[in-house]
Amino acid sequence: MKQVFVLKEPLGKINCSSDIFTKLKKIDIDYSQENFICFYLNTANMLVKSEVLFKGGINSCSIDPRIIFKHCLLNDCCKIIIAHNHPSGSLSPSYEDNDFTNELMKMGELLDLKVLDSIIFNKKEFYSLNNE
């Protein structure tokens, strides 16, 4: 029996937060509700997969860190970048945004999964917590 290997085209290397924003602009989402997107990367910062993991309402989104890390492990990644939009269009992180990102980073350390950045975006621009 002949074995066939299917090679997927690489999704590209992520060098900076603007690389993520370029990818975010290509994802078709409803900007009138909050969307939480995960980008899974390997050790060389090559994008393995990205997905809208959670959807919310007009001013919040219920996010379960256990599901985030489950998907990290299932995708054999060791780094992630998280992103979400504010339906208001605001790029300012809320207290909850900052708190959640810090907690997620701590949880990731326990699993040896690094949270590289948290990005807030709208249709035209983005804010990177890592850049600030």
Structural domains present in the chain: 17-128 (3.40.140.10)
Q: What percentage of the chain reaches a pLDDT higher than 70?
A: 92
pLDDT band at residue 130 using 50, 70 and 90 as cut-offs? confident
pLDDT at 9 over 70: no
**pLDDT value at 3 more than 80:** no
For the segment 47-65, the average pLDDT, to the nearest whole number, is 94
Q: How many CA atoms lie within 13 A of 117 on its CB side?
A: 23
Does 117 score more than 50 pLDDT? yes
pLDDT score, position 132: 67
Q: 108: burial class by Cβ within 10 Å (0-12, 13-18, 19+)?
A: buried
Instruction: Say what the pTM is.
Output: 0.89
Q: What are the residues whose beta carbons fall under 8 Å from the beta carbon of 43, sequence distance 6 or more?
A: 78, 79
> According to the model, what pLDDT value does residue 11 have?
73
Could you tell me whether strands 47-55 and 114-121 are parallel, antiparallel, or unpaired per DSSP bridges? Answer: unpaired
How confident is the model over 89-99, as a mean pLDDT? 95
Mean pLDDT of 24-40: 95
